[in-house]
């Protein structure tokens, strides 16, 4: 036994008998690996995305942004359906209320959309900001489009614009050091709040 156990046994009444009892019920089986200071957040649901990568979206039939509008708003986490584009919650949000503005058409590049689609996507991004301010009072936003695989697009085959609400302190040590985001509400609840907020501002 280690030194700390011997010290305990010699300085605490009954320590030796407890040591013997522990030894009697402890086998010598040990799992591989060395303990460290890191916490593990197990996310097995992401494995399908990780294994498939960019190759998971080969055409409109395999594109989640094309499939989304064919299902109910609740199932697809859609906040609003416009004429040429719609607003949907990001399934892997950076912050609560992280929205995506997507054209219905399956096009990859910002230069591929029409003037009408461009105008509606811009209007929906503005409305998304207003709704988020109304519902959750963020103090800032990040808006952007990642174009192409090398540009960082998670799904490069279907254009989408990010609207990310920001609050002071949301870039703390947890996401920066642990590369983990804590989302304090379910996506379903967030969708309900934002959809209600959208209706109120209409």
Catalytic residue among 80, 98, 160, 162: 160
| Confidence (pTM) | 0.69
Name which of 90, 60, 67 is nearest 77 in CA terms. Answer: 90
Q: Is residue 118 part of a domain?
A: yes
Give me the number of domains the chain comprises.
Answer: 1
Q: Is residue 4 part of a domain?
A: no
Q: What is the pLDDT of residues 58-112, one digit of tens each?
A: 677 778 899 999 999 999 999 999 999 999 999 888 888 999 999 999 999 999 9
Q: Is residue 106 part of a domain?
A: yes
Q: Has residue 7 got a pLDDT over 80?
A: no
160 is annotated as an active-site residue: yes
User: Which pLDDT does position 6 carry in this prediction?
Assistant: 45
Q: Is residue 151 part of a domain?
A: yes
Burial 17-26 (b: 16+ CB within 10 A, else e): eeeeeeeeee
Q: Is residue 136 part of a domain?
A: yes
For 142, the domain range is 55-201
Q: What is the pLDDT of residues 115-167, one digit of tens each?
A: 999 999 999 999 999 999 999 999 999 999 999 888 877 788 899 999 999 98
Q: Is residue 33 part of a domain?
A: no
The DSSP symbol for 76 reads H
CA distance 199 to 145: 26
CATH classification at residue 117: 3.30.428.10
Name which of 167, 123, 111 is nearest 142 in CA terms. Answer: 167
Q: Is residue 182 part of a domain?
A: yes
Q: Is residue 26 part of a domain?
A: no
């Amino acid at each position: 036994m280690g030194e700390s156990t011997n010290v305990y046994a010699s300085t605490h009444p009954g320590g030796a008998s407890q040591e013997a009892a522990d030894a009697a019920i402890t086998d010598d089986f040990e799992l591989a690996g060395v303990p460290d200071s890191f916490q593990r957040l197990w996310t097995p649901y992401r494995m399908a995305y990780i294994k498939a990568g960019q190759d998971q979206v080969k055409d409109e039939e395999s594109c989640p942004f094309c499939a989304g509008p064919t299902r109910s708003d609740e199932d697809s986490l859609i906040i609003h359906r416009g004429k040429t584009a719609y607003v949907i919650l990001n399934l892997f949000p950076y912050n609560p209320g992280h929205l995506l503005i997507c054209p219905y058409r399956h096009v990859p590049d910002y230069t591929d959309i029409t003037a009408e689609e461009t105008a509606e996507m811009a209007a929906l991004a503005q409305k998304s900001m207003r709704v988020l301010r109304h519902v959750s009072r963020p103090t800032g936003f990040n808006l952007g489009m990642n174009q192409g695989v090398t540009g960082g697009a998670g799904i490069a085959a279907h254009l989408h614009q990010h609207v990310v609400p920001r609050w002071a302190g949301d870039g703390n040590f947890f996401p920066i050091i642990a590369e983990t985001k804590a989302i304090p509400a379910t996506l379903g609840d967030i969708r309900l709040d934002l959809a209600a907020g959208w209706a109120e501002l209409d």
